[in-house]
A and B are shown apart, each in its own frame.
Chain A
Amino acid sequence: MDLVWKNIGALSNIPAQGARRLCIGKSGPPIAVFRTGEDRVFALIDECPHRRGPLSEGIVSGTTVACPLHNWVIDLTSGLALGLDEGGTPILPIRIVAGEVHVGLSLAAGESA
């Protein structure tokens, strides 16, 4: 499956220990782009595996995010729920080129955009 790399702008647009939601058209699932306290960047489908809570609104600590709805903790590196919870959310590849963030959309996602 081919990846389409899209430049989504400067890293500084995303708050450290925070996230922004990415809108890629009218349909398709929303994407959350996270920036950790150590400036690592991750992109995940913005839906908690539990009740589809918006992970982009959660508290980011290290490389985890806590869902704002019921505090499920999701590992940003794998998209998997930590602790006793089971489930996961798809992750998307990221590249940072010259301070700008590029997110890799699969063809399917690209088509839906």
Chain B
Amino acid sequence: MNMISDPRERLVVIGNGMAGMRTVEELLKRESGRRYQITVFGAEPHVNYNRIMLSSVLAGDKTVDEIVINSREWYDDNGIRLFAGDAVAAIDRNAKTVTAVSGLCVPYDRLLIATGSRPLAPAIPGLGLPGVCAFRDLADVDKMLAAARVHKRAVVIGGGLLGLEAAWGLKQRGMSVAVVHLMPTLMERQLDAAAGQLLQRDLDRRGISFFTDGQTEEIMGVARAEGVQLADGRVIPADLVVLAIGIRPNIDLARAAGLEVNRGVAVYDDMRTSDPDIFAVGECVEHRGEVFGLVAPLWEQAKVCAAQLGGDETAAFASQALSTSLKITGVDVFSAGALMAADENDDEITLRDDSRGLYKKIVLRDGKLVGAVLYGDVADGQWYLQLMRDNVDVAELRERLVFGRAVAEAVSAKPIGPDFAAMPDDAQICGCNGVSKGAIVGAIRGKNLASLEDVRAHTKASASCGQCTGLVERLLGFAAGAAAKPAKKTLCDCADAGHDEIRHAIVAQKLKTMQAVREAFGWKKSEGCHKCRPALNYYLLCAWPDEYKDDSRSRFVNERVHANIQKDGTFSVVPRMWGGLTTPAELHAIASVAEKFNIPTVKVTGGQRIDLLGVKKDDLPAVWSDLNKAGLVSGHAYAKGLRTVKTCVGSEWCRFGTQDSTGLGVKLEKMCWGSWTPHKVKLAVSGCPRNCAEATIKDLGIVCVEAGYDIVVGGNGGVEVRVSDSLARVATEEEVLEYAGAFLQLYREEAHYFERTAPWIARVGIAYVKRRLVEDGEGRCGLHARFLHSQTFVQHDPWADRAKGADAHEFAPLLALAEA
């Protein structure tokens, strides 16, 4: 080979193991050998093999040939020079050469250190005796197999993953095997105590004996190993002693070369060591304080390293949640992430069936899955791992999550509604008429009532304002069971058609007035009623934002006069405070108005606004005029529309804040204010998962995280508390605004009038909402655009208009009887 005439750069790889060769494979995929002339040194006299499968070779499940990854031909075909069985003795960074034990000296342009790890050895006498080996490479397996052919008794020191696989392999080869483990339970780094005990019980039944809490003091023997002496005096006879207490990164070469090392060879995200021409991958490295013993991150490192070697400087390694499983036939173990709750804020959910040998534990933190330990049935392991890696909000799956994917996903619609069985009889159901649960259930059962109308007639429950209709209906279902007749969901008594039918016709048949709708559906009352008129008015406004003229006579008083009527006929006034922010000037103006108009109550609302209660109707225009002068506009606290965007202070002030939640809240409110929706809509933006703005019980909530923004929908903190469903995680504020606009428009276009987002989503399912908003990007853009279009017609301050005299007849009484 004429190296001088070769124009390619020289890449030398120290280590012929899994990580190093995977890097070469990835590099060849990218470069096809055009860029680098590659030389590989391997300490073992073999081609590259799958070290993970050593236990299968030991147990007789696989042959050595079956675990070879790359054959000699592969090296030859790819022009790779392999020096197998010739370990590298030194790296000379100044000369840029490596020198092997054989004396061979090879120059490099780029060097890859993939020296892997070496077995940890305890500091005890007897390590050097024949019959003592580690469990690390093919030579160790050969020793163990040789011993198994002529000897009977084996002791494995170490009850971790590797030790148990060695013990099982030797057991399969006919030896009697004892495992000595320093800790009280097996595999304590991967399994919690309960799973570790189940594992020990199962392996014990398979004939492996265990010495837990066992500290080895000495390997006894003269000419070869004869036994193991424990610190507590116990002695275990042995012909073969296998050390499997752990591994340590192999960093001697790197340290001698003056590279930065800690526990492992320190690498940056680009897999470079402290010398930019020298890379390192695999079990020998330490990345951000972490060292690696499982294969998945090694593959990822190999990919990143190859990309960097190939010139892609953006490639970066980030360690992910990892899972472990044990390769012992018939013993199914899986673990990933946290083994147990870290503190009282974490939740553990366990499922245990001792007679079937089944154990499952999941660990939840802030509504996310952070750990899973499975024993006996590991089918859902990868699903749990994916939930962890994707940081999925599993709050709504919580009750079913531990039962696995099939159960958790089978019931995707969250049950909504109160637990009637647990509700006391004197709990009030209908506030208007003061009807209790006990009275309703008594009437239903005593008089065999079967329909909502019957219940209304006999108890008056839900006969007035109708807010509790849904509750009464469900209570009927609870008390009457199968006898309950569901009422057909019509818009109101005027029509036989339901909401969806009517909404569809408005668009499809281009019905643009209430009269046209009523005629199309044969309304029983020519003018409709107080139930259908606000609904139709809204549906028409939503369908034809630029054509339909809002009918104030079909609006509930609050929306007609832009204030909230109170029980005594006075009104309350709530100015908008964008994102909950205010200023001294605004506060002065509010204080002045309260004094000037003798407003009796000033209260801070749950939505971070100030409520002026007890304003006389005649005073409203003057109150608004004064507030307008300070820049305060209507807060729409009376509207079936956007009410408030509640925020926490976020990254601007809070030491925990991850994003500018206040600023984002203001942007959302600026986008959404003035919109009319089927029912009121409340938003919130929390700056971190501590969620101080309570975003997860809002119609639309944003929870900021380091990586971006979690968007949640359909929450409600009202009569029936409902925690929101997770919609999506996005990276930018622009995406948040797009999702928010699209979500509100979908709700505007498809929910029934008077239906909050919580029951709407419970009705249509979050999967449907995701299909429309997450999976259908084009559809999302369209919804967002329609939302913004309709907003152009409504974003003017209704108070300003009325302060200037609009709708004056609403506010002043009819000219009084002067002569009366």
Contact = CB atoms under 8 A, between A and B. Distances in A.
Interface of A: 4, 6, 8-9, 13-18, 20-25, 33, 37, 50-51, 53-54, 57-62, 64, 66, 68-73, 83-85, 105, 110, 113
A4 B456 CA distance: 42
B231 interface: no
Interface in B791-820: 809, 813-817, 819-820
A58 B527 contact: no
Contacts of B534: 59
Nearest to A21: B813
Interface stretch (B179-187, B457-465, B540-548): B457-465
A62 B817 contact: no
A53 B530 contact: no
B629 interface: no
Interface string B155-192: 00000000000000000000000000000000000000
Contact of A105 (B558, B567, B569, B820): B820
Contact of B569 (A14, A54, A70, A73): A54
B529 A61 contact: yes
B817 A20 contact: no
B465 A22 contact: no
Interface stretch (B66-74, B142-150, B549-557): B549-557
A58 B553 contact: no
A64 B558 CA distance: 19
A62 B527 contact: yes
A71 B530 CA distance: 8
Contacts of A20: 809, 813-814
B463 A37 contact: no
Between B432, B466, B556, B814, the greatest number of chain A beta carbons within 10 A of the residue's beta carbon is seen for B814
A22 B814 contact: yes
Contacts of B813: 20-23
A69 B820 contact: no
A76 to B, nearest CB: 13
Given A62-B525, A73-B530, A105-B820, A33 B814 contact: yes
A23 B567 contact: no
Top-4 shortest CB links A-B: A66-B530, A20-B814, A113-B820, A59-B530
A6 B815 CA distance: 12
B530 A113 contact: no
B583 interface: no
Interface of B is mostly: loop
A15 B551 CA distance: 12
B550 to A, nearest CB: 14
Between A20, A64, A84, A85, the greatest number of chain B beta carbons within 10 A of the residue's beta carbon is seen for A84
A24 B464 contact: no
Contact of B527 (A17, A53, A110): A17
Contacts of A6: 817, 819-820
A110 B820 contact: yes
Contact of A84 (B463, B530, B565, B569): B463
A57 B563 CA distance: 12
22 contacts: A6-B819, A13-B809, A15-B553, A18-B553, A23-B813, A24-B816, A50-B432, A57-B565, A59-B553, A61-B527, A61-B528, A61-B533, A62-B525, A64-B529, A68-B556, A69-B565, A70-B432, A71-B530, A73-B529, A83-B463, A110-B820, A113-B820
Nearest to B816: A23
B355 interface: no
Contacts of A66: 529-530
Contacts of A16: 553
Contacts of A110: 820
A111 to B, nearest CB: 10
Between A8, A61, A62, A71, the greatest number of chain B beta carbons within 10 A of the residue's beta carbon is seen for A61
A72 B553 contact: no
B94 interface: no
B530 A58 contact: yes
Interface in B438-477: 456-457, 460, 463-466
A58 B560 CA distance: 10
Nearest to A16: B553
A57 B570 CA distance: 11
B732 interface: no
Nearest to A46: B569
B456 A84 contact: yes
Contact of A8 (B463, B553, B565, B817): B817
Nearest to B560: A57
B345 interface: no
A58 B530 CA distance: 9
Interface band, chain B? 20 to 34
Between B556, B561, B809, B817, the greatest number of chain A beta carbons within 10 A of the residue's beta carbon is seen for B817
Contacts of A54: 565, 569
B533 A15 contact: no
A88 to B, nearest CB: 16
A53 B432 CA distance: 12
B572 to A, nearest CB: 14
Contacts of B533: 59, 61
Given A16-B553, A54-B569, A57-B565, A21 B814 contact: yes
A61 B553 CA distance: 9
Interface string B509-548: 0000000000000000111111001100000000000000
B567 A69 contact: yes
Contacts of A68: 556-558, 565
Contacts of B457: 84
Between B432, B558, B561, the greatest number of chain A beta carbons within 10 A of the residue's beta carbon is seen for B432
Nearest to A101: B814
Between B526, B555, B815, the greatest number of chain A beta carbons within 10 A of the residue's beta carbon is seen for B815
Between B464, B534, B809, B816, the greatest number of chain A beta carbons within 10 A of the residue's beta carbon is seen for B464
Given A21-B814, A60-B553, A71 B527 contact: no
Nearest to A59: B530
A54 B816 CA distance: 18
Given A14-B814, A18-B553, A23-B813, A50 B526 contact: no
B125 to A, nearest CB: 90
B463 A9 contact: no
Between A18, A58, A69, A85, the greatest number of chain B beta carbons within 10 A of the residue's beta carbon is seen for A69
B815 A13 contact: yes
Contacts of B466: 71
B137 to A, nearest CB: 82
Nearest to B809: A15
Contacts of A73: 529-530
A85 B463 contact: yes
Given A71-B466, A84-B457, A84-B460, A37 B527 contact: yes
B554 A59 contact: yes
Nearest to B561: A57
A30 B573 CA distance: 23
A80 to B, nearest CB: 15
A1 to B, nearest CB: 17
Nearest to B807: A15
A70 B820 contact: no
A75 to B, nearest CB: 13
Nearest to B532: A61
Contacts of A69: 465, 565, 567
A50 B432 CA distance: 9
Nearest to A4: B820
Contacts of B528: 61
A94 to B, nearest CB: 13
Nearest to A37: B527
B443 to A, nearest CB: 13
Contact of A70 (B456, B465, B525, B557): B465
Nearest to B460: A84
Contacts of A14: 809, 814
A59 B781 CA distance: 38
Nearest to A17: B553
A61 B557 contact: no
B660 to A, nearest CB: 41
Contact of B814 (A8, A37, A83): A8
B814 to A, nearest CB: 4
